[in-house]
Every structure is written in C-alpha cells, then in structure tokens.
C-alpha cells in the first residue's frame, strides 16, 4: 500500500502548475450567462494555464495576459 501511495504522489507532482501572481483579476470575471464572445477560433493560453478558444474567453475568465496557442500546445508549462 505504501508503494502505491508513493507512486501516486511522485507522479502527481509532474502535473503541478503554479499560477503567476496577478494573473487573474477577479473584478473582470464575467459569468458564463453574461458572456458575449464570438466563436472565432484563435487559440490562446491564459496565464492560468488553460487553453481558450480566443482572447475574449480568456479575458472573461479574468486572465490578465495570454499567449497565442494551438490545440497541440501544452499551456501548463
């Protein structure tokens, strides 16, 4: 049992992502029911490590910055 727990904890560390300081501005988060974003596909990685379909969705989640991405991009680096 100890070995399984150790293996789980060891493998779990690889997925850790630390969101940078001042990445999310909670005052700019827009509830899903009130978002007005187009469905244009211009993928971006938000500073929180998530992939968004475009800048509007990243901004609506409160991200203060983002970078251009593709579907294959691993945003959480």
Return the domain boundaries, the chain.
Answer: 19-77
Alpha helices for 1-77 (secondary structure H): 2-12, 55-60
The percent of residues in the chain predicted with pLDDT above 70, rounded, is 79
Q: Is the pLDDT of residue 28 over 60?
A: yes
Q: Which helix (H) or strand (E) holds 74?
A: none
- CB distance 36 to 14 below 8 Å: no
pLDDT computed for residue 10 by the predictor = 45
Q: Is the pLDDT of residue 4 over 90?
A: no
pLDDT tens-place string over residues 30-57: 999 999 999 999 999 999 999 999 999 9
Q: For residue 57, what are its two tokens?
A: 């969705």
Confidence grade of residue 17 (pLDDT, cut at 50, 70, 90): confident
């Amino acid at each position: 049992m100890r070995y399984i727990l150790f293996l789980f904890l060891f493998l779990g560390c690889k997925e850790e992502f630390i969101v940078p300081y001042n990445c999310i501005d909670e005052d700019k988060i827009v509830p899903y029911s009130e978002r007005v974003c187009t469905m244009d596909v211009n993928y971006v990685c938000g500073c929180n490590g998530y992939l968004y379909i475009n800048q509007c969705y990243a901004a609506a989640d409160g991200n203060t910055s983002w970078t251009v991405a593709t579907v294959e991009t691993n945003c959480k680096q």
